[in-house]
């Protein structure tokens, strides 16, 4: 590829623009998230303006930054830009530089005047710039389907000249809507649920129920790897590892096998609920999808969820498995999720799990043992680790 000469990146807010009074806060969070994600590029200079975030490259590598910036939620698109003075001769030259940076055959120029006091109208600028490119390159004009679109934005402090617009992930800046506790198994669905939750502006913490020694150290490593992969969208992730074995064994000692999964999942919710209260987290997220397995029929989900009064978010509830897999591939969790390590559900896999559990039977089994002490012990023995795609794991308790 020809040498890219961009000196700026322009990030346009998009969905944020409609947010009225909260807009300031959104822009602040977006700016904070972008700055953290691009911390590896110390020479960048940032300027927050009402219509976008302007980043001066100061020699940093645009192509590398581009990949990192694509992993931040909350903006519509960004573009590499060269900023010229408002002198039309310099605008023409700069546009020609942009036009010849990459291989193209056809082009079109589209100008927008943010500064209406500029003496030339948009059409005049389009014509002047296109004429200059036509006479100094082999490019031809195609107004309907050009290979290259050159965008010129006339602002009071200069002309911003851009070519490609790189679409962002959309959504809201992560963190703007508080936090959610993601129930993270080693499967395909829950990392995708986590991604979609972060996209809605919620920062996630994760809770994982581990059944050592029935589940292996590798199974836990897999969950940590998934959490690290999710951390690219929010810098780092707190993972709560809950020792679940004793409670699980008590369930199997006291309950009919067909009800074991229903009751086990109620215990998971009880623990997640308590942890949310302790950490002042307002929602639980999980990867449940209607009809996918016996515990995810509408009847099962409602009997299971009754034990929690924290709001439960189920981002993939209505998705087909194939749609979930597509996102898992896009966020690079799929290959990890399909590694064949057992999880706590596959270890105690009952032959005929009930698909329409009756609440009175559930309560009958639960009354047979002191589950509350075991739930409390799980919460007390929570092992907390902070994980980041950037560094080694760190125990914080």
Residues in contact with ligand ATP, shown as a per-residue x/- string from 193 to 222 under the rule CB under 6 A: --------------xxx-------------
Nearer to ligand ATP, 147 or 342 (CB): 342
Compute how many residues bind ligand ATP; rule: CB under 6 A.
20
Binding site partner of 344, from ligand ATP, Mg ion, none, Cβ cut-off 5-8 A by kind = ligand ATP
Return the closest-CA partner of residue 125 out of 135, 141, 112. 112
Nearer to ligand ATP, 217 or 367 (CB): 217
User: Does 288 contact ligand ATP by CB under 6 A?
Assistant: yes
Nearer to Mg ion, 109 or 223 (CB): 223
Distance of closest approach, residue 238 Cβ to ligand ATP, in angstroms: 14
Residue whose Cβ sits closest to ligand ATP: 187
Among 287, 315, 353, 357, binds ligand ATP (CB under 6 A): 287
Could you give the angle at which helices 245-254 and 371-380 cross, rounded to 10 degrees? 170
Q: What whole-number distance in Å separates Cα of residue 119 and Cα of residue 128?
A: 13
Q: What whole-number distance in Å separates Cα of residue 162 and Cα of residue 109?
A: 10
Residues 244/339, Cβ–Cβ less than 8 Å: no
Q: What whole-number distance in Å separates Cα of residue 194 and Cα of residue 227?
A: 9
> What stretch of H or E contains 46?
strand 45-49
Nearer to Mg ion, 158 or 187 (CB): 187
Return the closest-CA partner of residue 31 out of 53, 51, 15. 53
Contacting positions for Mg ion (CB under 5 A): 185, 187
**Alpha helix (H) residue ranges in 279-370:** 298-305, 321-330, 334-337, 344-347, 359-366
Q: Which stretch binds ligand ATP (CB under 6 A): 64-72, 91-99, 135-143, 288-296?
A: 288-296
Please state whether beta strands 148-155 and 106-113 pair in parallel, antiparallel, or not at all (unpaired): parallel
Distance of closest approach, residue 228 Cβ to ligand ATP, in angstroms: 16
Torsion of CA 74, 326, 355, 348, to 10 degrees: -100
CA 265-268-269 angle, to 5 degrees, is: 90
User: Does 231 contact ligand ATP by CB under 6 A?
Assistant: no
Neighbours of 290 (CB within 10 A): 13
Neighbours of 145 (CB within 10 A): 7
Distance of closest approach, residue 277 Cβ to ligand ATP, in angstroms: 18
Return the closest-CA partner of residue 235 out of 270, 271, 203, 274. 203
Q: Which stretch binds ligand ATP (CB under 6 A): 60-68, 119-127, 128-136, 292-300?
A: 292-300
Nearer to Mg ion, 187 or 350 (CB): 187
Q: Which stretch binds ligand ATP (CB under 6 A): 128-136, 289-297, 326-334, 384-392?
A: 289-297
Residues in contact with ligand ATP, shown as a per-residue x/- string from 309 to 348 under the rule CB under 6 A: ----------------------------------xxx---
User: Does 245 contact ligand ATP by CB under 6 A?
Assistant: no
Phi, psi of 53 (to 5 degrees): -105, 130
Nearer to ligand ATP, 142 or 323 (CB): 323
Write out the binding residues for ligand ATP, residues 257-286 only, by CB under 6 A.
Answer: 286
Binding site partner of 6, from ligand ATP, Mg ion, none, Cβ cut-off 5-8 A by kind = none
Write out the binding residues for ligand ATP, residues 160-199 only, by CB under 6 A.
Answer: 183-185, 187-190
Q: What whole-number distance in Å separates Cα of residue 40 and Cα of residue 21?
A: 32
Provide the binding-site residues for ligand ATP, judged by CB under 6 A. Answer: 183-185, 187-190, 207-209, 286-288, 292-293, 295-296, 343-345
């Amino acid at each position: 590829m020809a040498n890219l000469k961009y000196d700026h990146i322009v990030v346009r807010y998009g969905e944020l623009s409609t947010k009225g009074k909260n807009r300031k806060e959104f822009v602040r969070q977006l700016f904070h998230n972008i700055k953290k994600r691009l911390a590896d590029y110390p020479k960048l200079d940032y300027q927050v303006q009402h219509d976008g975030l302007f980043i001066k490259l100061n020699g940093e590598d645009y192509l590398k930054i581009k990949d990192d910036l694509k992993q931040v939620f909350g903006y519509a698109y960004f573009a590499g830009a060269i900023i010229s003075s408002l002198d039309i001769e310099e605008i023409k030259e700069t546009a020609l530089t942009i036009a010849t940076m990459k291989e193209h055959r056809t082009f079109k120029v589209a100008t927008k005047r943010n500064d209406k006091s500029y003496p030339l109208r948009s059409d005049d600028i389009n014509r002047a710039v296109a004429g200059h490119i036509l006479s100094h390159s082999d490019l031809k004009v195609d107004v309907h389907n050009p290979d290259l679109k050159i965008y010129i934005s006339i602002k009071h402090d200069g002309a911003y000249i851009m070519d490609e617009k790189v679409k962002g992930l959309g959504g809201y800046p992560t963190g703007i809507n508080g936090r959610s506790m993601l129930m993270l198994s080693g499967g395909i669905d829950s990392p995708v649920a986590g991604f979609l939750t972060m996209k809605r502006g919620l920062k996630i913490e994760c809770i994982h129920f581990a059944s050592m020694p029935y589940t292996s150290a590798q199974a836990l490593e897999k969950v940590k790897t998934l959490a690290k992969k999710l951390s690219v969208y929010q810098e780092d992730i707190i993972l709560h590892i809950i020792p679940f074995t004793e409670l699980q064994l008590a369930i199997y000692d006291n309950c009919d096998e067909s009800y074991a999964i229903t009751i086990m999942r109620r215990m998971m919710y009880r623990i997640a609920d308590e942890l949310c209260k302790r950490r002042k987290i307002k929602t639980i997220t999980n990867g449940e999808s209607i009809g996918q397995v016996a515990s995810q029929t509408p009847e099962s989900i409602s009997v299971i969820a009754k034990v929690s009064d924290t709001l439960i978010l189920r981002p993939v509830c209505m998705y087909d498995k194939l749609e979930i897999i597509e996102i898992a591939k896009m966020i690079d969790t799929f290959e990890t999720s399909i590694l064949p390590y057992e999880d706590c559900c596959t270890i105690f896999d009952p032959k005929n799990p009930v698909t329409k559990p009756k609440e009175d039977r559930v309560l009958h089994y639960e009354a047979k043992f002191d589950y509350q002490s075991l739930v409390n012990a799980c919460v007390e023995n929570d092992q907390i680790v902070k994980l980041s795609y950037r560094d080694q794991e760190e125990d914080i308790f």
